[in-house]
Structure 1
């Protein structure tokens, strides 16, 4: 009965997040159109208007991270293998999302007028981001290795031994709860790095450079989603 209730709750959470995400994507497409419009009107756009647009786009992404965090609190394993993303989209993922360093590759292809000072600051940020990525990768590897190492294996074997006519699952539940907690921490830190990298990058760029960069980021994400949907549709034929 408890398992049935748990599955029902999980299904409700997935449905709610899926509905949120569909609406989020619609709004993202609208933001892309705004960003493109601002680029076309570059000579007419005021810095104040551009900053307002940039702030709204960043807030839009932050909303996704907040909803994703709530979903992870319900089931972190689901966020690491999200059914609301196609296998093609997931092939680009690093700790349940795009790698922060990808931002610098997109920047290189969309902004070609960085000053010397901006370039130097970008290199510092790139180096710091790469170091933090390695730390998170090492932490995730440690967690993954612990799944197949003592004491988890010992507990799993112990679970097969009857205790007073019942299976002793208390130890296993305790260990798995610890693992889920560690996964949530790694995910939260990865999302924080993604957000912080984007925020610091935006601080270095001028308003118009930011619009070019954010337009390129948004367009790439929507294209990857479109390609993933097309691949899935082809497989169903």
Structure 2
């Protein structure tokens, strides 16, 4: 059973991540909206953009590593976190977003930006954003999507098997043999549940590795400017869903945190 200090650390980990997301978004938007420096070459600007992308990836990696350390002591809350809204929890896949959501967001942004800037595009004006993905980029993203869907399916099957095992030995036998109305504390049950939780930690680690792998590959396919554009949009989406979910919980009288 998790202690109150475990719960505080888990909640703090997420709150720190939200604060980091807000800070990173502010920096991304500032750089995107800042007028181009006349003394800055195109190559120098790309280097700055790439450094900004790499910093955001490092922040995600650090958050992932920290929560895995916490999950090794108490993993269950990460699959249905009390620090998220009920709406957010309904969207979770193995403790986070589906990696393919990142790819779908790229396609959505591409379509929106093409539509919003069609007049400029027809005039030959290029901005270098996600509305200008090349044929090669689209091919690479499509390939990444196919591989990621396959990995998501594999992990989902593993989790389904893990959930089914909870009714297997030794728990089912102990329940059947128990003379009490309630299952009494039992060393074998605790051992089985401990083993189940360790498997859940492994699933969370694998899911986070897939999320990180997908993000890194996507960032390598996009140009630095497109990558910054995507990161800003993804953080806006995350923060918006979090805020709206919390507001809905308060409206329905749920979880006032």
Asked if Structure 1 and Structure 2 have the same fold, meaning a TM-score greater than 0.5 normalized by the shorter chain, the answer is yes
**Equivalent of residue 163 in structure 2, options 144, 155, 166:** 144
**Aligned pair 1:236/2:253, yes or no?**
yes
Contact 2:155 2:203 survives alignment (8 Å): yes
Contact 1:17 1:67 survives alignment (8 Å): no
Task: Please show how residues 41-190 of structure 1 align to structure 2 within 5 Å.
Answer: 41=34, 43-44=36-37, 46-110=45-109, 111-158=130-177, 160=178, 169-190=186-207
C-alpha displacement at 1:168, in angstroms? 7.3
Q: Give the stretch that moved more between structures: 216-225 or 112-121.
A: 112-121
C-alpha displacement at 1:27, in angstroms? 2.2
- State the match for 1:17 in structure 2: 10
Q: Say if 1:209 and 1:92 are closer, same or farther in 2 by CA, change over 3 A.
A: same
Partner deviation per Cα, 1:38-89 (whole Å, 9 max, x = no partner) = 2223744711111111111111111221121012111111111111111111
Contact 1:92 1:98 survives alignment (8 Å): yes
Q: Say if 1:180 and 1:20 are closer, same or farther in 2 by CA, change over 3 A.
A: closer
Aligned partners of 2:226 and 2:7: how far apart in 1? Answer: 37
Aligned partners of 1:25 and 1:151: how far apart in 2? Answer: 41
What runs of 5+ residues in structure 2 fail to find an aligned partner?
Answer: 110-129
C-alpha displacement at 1:170, in angstroms? 2.2
What is the root-mean-square deviation of aligned Cα atoms in Å?
Answer: 2.0
What runs of 5+ residues in structure 1 fail to find an aligned partner?
Answer: 1-5
Contact 2:13 2:67 survives alignment (8 Å): no
- State the match for 1:37 in structure 2: 30
- State the match for 1:27 in structure 2: 20
Contact 2:137 2:222 survives alignment (8 Å): yes
Partner deviation per Cα, 1:90-145 (whole Å, 9 max, x = no partner) = 11111111000000111112222111111111111110000000000000000111
TM-score of the superposed pair, with normalisation by structure 2 = 0.82
- State the match for 1:196 in structure 2: 213
Aligned partners of 1:81 and 1:108: how far apart in 2? Answer: 29
- State the match for 1:217 in structure 2: 234
Matched residues, number: 225
